[in-house]
Amino acid sequence: MSGTSLDGIDVALVAMPNNTISLLGALEMPFEPKLRRDILALCQTQTIALRDFGQICVRLSLAYAKAVNQLLAQHQLNGNDICAIGCHGQTVYHLPGGPYPFSMQLINASVLAAETGITTISDFRSMDLALGGQGAPLVPPFHQQLFEHLQQQYSALVLLNIGGIANVSILSGQPLVGFDTGPGNVLMDLWLQQQNPEQLFDHNGELAAKGQVCDALLADCLADPYFALTAPKSTGRELFNFDWLQQKLIHYPALSFEDVLATLSQLTATSISQSLTHLSPGLLLVCGGGAKNSHLLHNIQALLPNWQIELTTNFGVDGDFMEAMAFAWLAKRCRERQNGNDMLVTGASRNEILGQICQLKHHQWQGDLTKDQQ
């Protein structure tokens, strides 16, 4: 998995026998700076020569393969110990609306399969979009299976991922609901990196904590129509990007760097809390990089005072690898010809098998018939 923050590659080694899901090992590999710059430029300019485009897919897939092979080496495993790789790819454009909806994740699955010797499943979003869905978020059914055992204990149970974009899975009640609430870390990261390109994020929200929230700027940001949309909905850097931020800041030239950061942190907290106000308070389980931003979590708690806010890591699932695990689960669903999407979450016309399988002749998973469910 590599997500919208473009901080690097997360690899999860997952076993899933008999409907259980466990993380056996994991690895984070930062992007090599040139590759990160090139992908970021592509996201920002939305323009690239075809030759560069083809090459960037190969470079990225070689980086994915390096990360996978490193994790396997750490665990003294080889390709035949692994059933399949589920690889999300790198989102560079997400356009669920308009006459020709699509979501583009960069990957060259053949390169990843050839370099690892492992059958590789990718392109998980296209089928949902082809069926009229948003193509995102895809993790809610995975969250549901993972935390089913907690459902009876809380009046409301919500999973919150704070990545570049933030998304929630509302697990209590029927039907399952999940959507992107809006920016997670992306605007804060962009603002910080524009000031200091060497610093990728505001460690624990320390700089934001030094600023004052500008209520007028916050209100202007929250006036974006995305926040008022009802689910199904999903978003990305196509909307919440540096241009968007500059448009808002134009009216506030005197604000300090820290005040802007504090306001962007409050924007993330407010948009998340507003997505949950219709629920009676319960348990909010947080994952993704933003779960490490204590200032942000403090602000969310202040806006949702009666909720119990906890890290998924304290409930047995490492919040840094939740999304990577989800794509292992989606790969398993694909391999077993089970639907990956939940039409009520994404708005697709039906549930379907998601993903394209890139199979290798020489890949022989060692699992015997009993292990075949893993």
Ligand X SMILES: CC(=O)N[C@H]1[C@@H]2OC[C@@H](O2)[C@@H](O)[C@@H]1O[C@H](C)C(=O)O
168: contact with ligand ATP by CB under 6 A: no
- Going by C-alpha positions, the residue among 157, 256, 261 that lies closest to residue 201 is 261
Q: Contact 179/275 with Cβ under 8 angstroms? A: yes
**For residues 79 and 133, which CB has a smaller minimum distance to ligand ATP in the complex?**
133
Question: Is 98 labeled as ligand-binding?
Answer: no
The pattern of x and - marking residues 199 through 238 that bind ligand X according to CB under 6 A reads: -----------------------------------x-x--
Question: Is 8 labeled as ligand-binding?
Answer: yes
Q: Contact 306/312 with Cβ under 8 angstroms? A: no
Candidate list 119, 120, 126, 167; residue touching ligand X; CB under 6 A: 167
Q: Which stretch binds ligand ATP (CB under 6 A): 67-75, 93-101, 198-206, 238-246?
A: 198-206
Task: Output phi, psi for 290, to 5 deg.
Answer: -65, -15
Candidate list 2, 16, 42, 103; residue touching ligand X; CB under 6 A: 103
- For 328-361, b where at least 16 C-beta lie within 10 A, e where not — what string? bbbbbbbbeeebbbbbbbbbbeebbbbbebbeee
Q: What distance in Å separates the CA atoms of residue 300 and residue 319, rounded to the nearest whole number?
A: 17
Residue 287: alpha-carbon gap to chain centroid = 10
89: contact with ligand X by CB under 6 A: no
Residue 162: half-sphere exposure toward Cβ, Cα within 13 Å: 28
91: contact with ligand X by CB under 6 A: yes
80: contact with ligand ATP by CB under 6 A: no
| Amino acid at position 247, single letter | Q
- Going by C-alpha positions, the residue among 54, 23, 5 that lies closest to residue 146 is 23
333: contact with ligand X by CB under 6 A: no
Q: How far is the CB of 107 from ligand ATP (least distance, A)?
A: 14
**For residues 117 and 184, which CB has a smaller minimum distance to ligand X in the complex?**
184
Q: Enumerate residues 323-352 that contact ligand ATP by CB under 6 A.
A: 323
- Residues composing the chain: 374
Token pair in block for residue 114: 């050839």
161: contact with ligand ATP by CB under 6 A: yes
Q: Which residues contact 209 (CB under 8 A, 6 or more apart)?
A: 262, 295
**Binding partner at 136 among ligand X, ligand ATP, none, C-beta below 5 to 8 Å by kind:** ligand X
182: contact with ligand ATP by CB under 6 A: no
**Binding partner at 139 among ligand ATP, ligand X, none, C-beta below 5 to 8 Å by kind:** ligand X
Candidate list 39, 63, 87, 139; residue touching ligand X; CB under 6 A: 139
Q: Which stretch binds ligand X (CB under 6 A): 6-14, 163-171, 219-227, 362-370?
A: 163-171
Q: Contact 329/1 with Cβ under 8 angstroms? A: no
Token pair in block for residue 334: 């694909």
Position closest to ligand X via CB? 137
Token pair in block for residue 45: 């300019």
Question: Is 4 labeled as ligand-binding?
Answer: yes
Task: Output phi, psi for 369, to 5 deg.
Answer: -60, -40
Q: Which H helix or E strand runs over 10? A: strand 8-15
Q: Enumerate residues 270-309 that contact ligand ATP by CB under 6 A.
A: 288-290, 292-293
Question: Is 6 labeled as ligand-binding?
Answer: yes
Known binding positions for ATP: 3-10
- Chain residues binding ligand X by CB under 6 A are 3-4, 91, 94, 103, 136-139, 161, 163, 165, 167, 180, 234, 236, 323, 326
- Chain residues binding ligand ATP by CB under 6 A are 3-5, 7, 161, 163-165, 184-185, 189, 200-205, 288-290, 292-293, 323
